[in-house]
Structure 1
Amino acid sequence: MSVELKIPVIGESVTEVTLSSWLKKDGDYVAEGEAVCEIESDKASMELPAPSAGVLKIMAEAGSELKIGAKIGELDTAAAKPAAAAKTEAPAAAPKAEAAAPAATASSGKEVNYPSPAARKILDEKGVSADDVKGSGKDGRITKDDAVNASAPAPAAKAAAPAAAPTATRAPTVPGARATRPEKMTRLRKTIASKLVEAKNTTAMLTTFNEVDMFELMALRKRYKDAFTKKHGVGLGFMSLFTKAVTVALKDWPAVNAQINGDEILYHDYADIGIAVSTPRGLVVPVVRNAESLSLAEIEKEILALATKARDGKITIEEMQGGTFSITNGGVFGSMLSTPILNLPQSAILGMHNIIERPVAINGQVVIRPMMYLALSYDHRIIDGRESVSFLKQVKELLEDPSRLLLDV
């Protein structure tokens, strides 16, 4: 008896995916629930588990673009599970043979650093040995991202010319290499590109700026971060404080939390905040639901869980849909100032930046303060200048006097 392997329904709007790589080889015996391949949609990547135990028959090549429901393989469930290979000991007369054996994981017996098919192809093109790459996947498997980031080893130095040939001359130095390496865009990257162009072309996007004195916020965080971590089991970061300030301001300026829906403006009485996360596959925006009703600790835990899933490629489409407002932090990469692009269909996005000590005037005195520039990009079709500027000013005031977040004033 055989069981078909098909591309599953991933999300309401997803009609096609890319079969990124096979994690098992044709003819391998796989256990029920064991991941057999990686598939990538326009929103996220995921591993496809085996619905039953059996011997795998591969029927679609890695890199193929497939419709939802497409058959990619079969599992022969009648095949018997192969017996574990008996371990053989090296003969005493050849103690050095052990060193030549491939390294193996203690739990599975599989070779460490074995590449996926897609990773193998990239490594072969680069001329990089799998032995020189540390795998980040399950059981030490080398993933596609590992292969993309791998560098070819430096060429070994040539042996010195023999003394009998003193007239030999060194080859002329070759200028810097100018090689190019074409690489197919991932489905996620193509979707990101399309969405960004759509946002630029279909909205009346404008950006307003302000700056926030981070002194009080940083002092508050320093004062309570150890007690916070001890009680809640999660660190107190700036993102939860910014998220809370945003949710308070959105209540007073509901247009910033609204969306255009045909000929109507759709207002939300809740705040689902998208938090931009950079991953090896591109930028994704998981959503913290009902952030307005969460405590700082609950926001921190949710952000940590979603960010971890996003970076591990485990984030689901449902966890990235339905946001009403987004926050992106370019400051973690050293950005001083930027104009973030709207995350459609949302109408506004807040950009955080790096914190720099600068001289500022306070009560007639020049003092050094940790300052951050804030940028609010918004759709001018439904958000007027008064609303956007007032919203950003309120966020600034809440962050500069964080006690207001606790007192709701």
Structure 2
Amino acid sequence: MATEILVPTLGESITEATLGEWLKQPGDRVEADEPVASLETDKVSVEVPAPAAGVMGAHGVNVGDTVNVGAVIGAIEAGDGAPAAKADAPAPQQAAPAPAPTPPEAGQQAPASPAGEPSSNVEAAALSPSVRRAILEHGVDPANIKGTGKDGRITKDDVVAAASNKASTPASPPAAPAPTAQAASAPTGNRGEERVRMTRLRQTIAKRLKEAQDTAALLTTFNDVDMTAVIEARTKYKDLFEKKHGVRLGFMGFFVKAACQALRDIPSVNAQIDGDEIVYHDYADISVAVSAPQGLVVPVIRNADAMSVAEVEKTIGDFGKRAKDGTLKMDEMKGGTFTISNGGVFGSLMSTPIINPPQSAVLGLHRIEDRPVVRDGQVVVRPMMYLALSYDHRLIDGREAVTFLVALKNAIEDPTRLLIDL
């Protein structure tokens, strides 16, 4: 008797999702609670566990289809005898001639696999359609690719990186199949196109950012900050800090604490509009923009104003790791009263970030670079960073926005202010 695979509850107010990937193919052996599919919601990816052990039946929906909570997307067939026999069948047949195929398998078995199919070391079921297409286009062997995705799965970026390494290696035999595969997929040269459906997360990001532009009266004000004092403090105490707290001392801890102090002094930056009312918060829940494989996610540091720098750094480090693994929970990305986005890690010099509704402001951090500045009448070189505060002008006046940035700048340039509450 077959056991139906149902779309699990996805969280409050989330009623549907997109089937992002089938992790098990029909006929595969499945253990109870083993992930069989991956769903993409507005915020995170959710794995669908197998309701029982058995054999994966036919897929009820296709990759990219929209499914509702509680919908049937497949089934687990009863019985484990068939898959076991299927797996054991080749062994007795090849028991006698086993020594013959062994030498080729130890040599160059993978390139000889037909039509660029994944080798026996990598289950085809573990490869998404876009990854399989990339493998065919680049002519690489997935068995030689180290996956950086969730649970070690191979991503499209892994295939591209492996192809780049292969092209830079002076070994001519492996490089020969690549042009052939490319020529077959793009007969007109290097003008190929690929049409890929937007993930639900990317659709949500696009919708929310456009909604922010259409609703809020966006304005951005800039300032710059001398990072000398923070860099010196970090250099002096980073080893002791990591030894005591088990986490590296970064710059975000300083900026989060400085922002919390400035938000307390300028409460409108920490407020939001709800209809014809203004909601002021006496706490600071700081949303931190984190880059994930499927897009930008914004987990929230709850009560950041009551945390130490070490607690902030630990929380951010945990968010970053779990964003990469795709294990962030939906509740961790709800709410938030103010956002900090650090484009400097990607080399951005200056930007105008867009607010994260219903929040009213977002702070953009950028790369640190040495620039000539005037100090005490002398031109000196200092590590400088541009700051950008985008805000909803319906709620926040220019005076308040500038005052907020100046307060934050003062705290970063003289971190002692954070200790004595100035």
Q: TM-score, normalised by structure 1?
A: 0.86
The whole-number CA distance in structure 2 between the counterparts of 1:149 and 1:76 is: 38
**Which 10-residue stretch deviates more, 58-67 or 229-238?**
58-67
Q: How many angstroms does 1:79 deviate by?
A: 4.8
Deviation (angstroms), 1:78: 5.4
Matched, 1:334 2:347: yes
> 1:94–1:63: structure 2 CA closer, same or farther, 3 Å change rule?
closer
After TM superposition, the structure 1 stretch with the greater mean CA deviation from structure 2, 358-367 or 143-152, is 143-152
Quote the offset at 1:177 in angstroms: 2.6
Within a 5 Å distance, the mapping from 1:14-93 to structure 2 comes to 14-57=14-57, 58-77=59-78, 79=80, 82=84, 85=88, 91=98
Q: 1:203 to 1:125 in 2, by over 3 A?
A: farther
Q: Hey, what's the Cα distance between the residues in 1 that align with 2:102 and 2:121?
A: 21
CA contact (8 A) 1:361 1:367 kept: yes
Deviations 1:278-324 (A, max 9, x none): 12211111111110111111111110111111121111221111011
Distance 1:176 1:214, change over 3 A: farther
Pick closer, same or farther for the CA change 1:140–1:119 going to 2, 3 Å: farther
* Cα deviation, residue 37, structure 1: 1.0
Counterpart of 1:112 in structure 2 is 122
Q: Deviations over 1:90-113 (max 9, x none)?
A: 8557751551677xxxxxxx8337
Deviations 1:234-289 (A, max 9, x none): 00000111001001111111110011111111111111111111122111111111
Instruction: Tell me which residue corresponds to 1:198.
Output: 211
Q: 2:103 is matched by which residue type in structure 1?
A: K
Give per-residue Cα distances to partners, 1:331-362, cap 9 Å, x unaligned.
11111111100111100000001111111111
Provide, for residues 67-118 of structure 1, a one-character-per-residue CA deviation record: whole Å limited to 9, x for no partner: 222110122355568488479698557751551677xxxxxxx833744243
Number of aligned positions between the proteins: 389
- Whole-angstrom distance in 1 between the partners of 2:302 and 2:151: 34
- C-alpha deviation, 1:3, in angstroms: 2.7
Deviation at 1:11, TM superposition (A): 2.2
Is residue 398 from structure 1 mapped to residue 388 from structure 2 by the alignment? no
1:323 and 2:330 aligned: no
Query: In structure 2, do the counterparts of structure 1 residues 144 and 5 end up closer, same or farther at CA, with 3 Å as the change threshold?
Result: farther
Aligned residue in 1 for 2:148: 136
Partner of 2:244: helix, strand, or coil?
helix
> Any unmatched runs of 5+ in structure 1?
103-109, 159-173
Letter in 2 for 1:32: A
Q: TM-score normalised to the size of structure 2?
A: 0.84
Deviation, structure 1 residue 127: 5.8
Give a deviation string over 1:175-222, Cα, whole Å, max 9, x none.
973322222211111111111111111100111111111001100110
Partners of 1:19 and 1:40 within 8 A in 2 = yes
Q: Which residue in 1 is equivalent to 2:191?
A: 178
Task: Indicate the residue corresponding to 1:259 in structure 2.
Answer: 272
Listed as ranges, the matches of 1:289-304 within 5 Å are: 289-304=302-317
Distance 1:223 1:331, change over 3 A: same
CA distance in 2, matches of 1:222, 1:279: 29
Question: Which has the higher mean CA deviation after the structures are superposed, 47-56 or 15-24?
Answer: 47-56
For structure 2, the 5+ residue unaligned runs are 111-119, 168-174, 179-186
Q: Equivalent residue for 1:161?
A: none
What does residue 172 of structure 2 align with?
Answer: none
1:278 to 291, 296, 314: 291
Opposite residue 126 of structure 1, the aligned amino acid is E
Secondary structure of the residue aligned to 1:96 is helix
Indicate the SS of the match to 2:380. Answer: strand
Cα separation, 1, equivalents of 2:371 and 2:131: 50
Q: For residue 49 of structure 1, report the CA deviation from its aligned partner.
A: 1.7
For residues 276 and 338 of structure 2, what CA distance do their matches in structure 1 show?
20
The one of 205, 210, 229 equivalent to 2:242 is 229
Deviation track 1:352-393 (CA, whole Å, cap 9, x = no partner) reads 011111111111121111111100000011111121111111
Query: For residues 96-111 of structure 1, what are the structure 2 equivalents within 5 Å?
Result: 96-99=103-106, 111=121
Cα 1:201–1:140 change in 2 (3 A) is: closer
Instruction: Compare 373-382 and 358-367 and name the one that shifted more.
Output: 358-367
Greater mean deviation of Cα atoms: 5-14 or 230-239: 5-14
Give the distance between the partners of 1:373 and 1:39, measured in 2 at CA.
39
Instruction: Select between 268-277 and 22-31 the one with higher mean Cα deviation.
Output: 22-31
The answer to whether structure 1 residue 214 and structure 2 residue 247 are counterparts is no
* CA-based RMSD: 3.0
Q: How far is the alpha carbon of 1:45 from its aligned partner?
A: 1.3
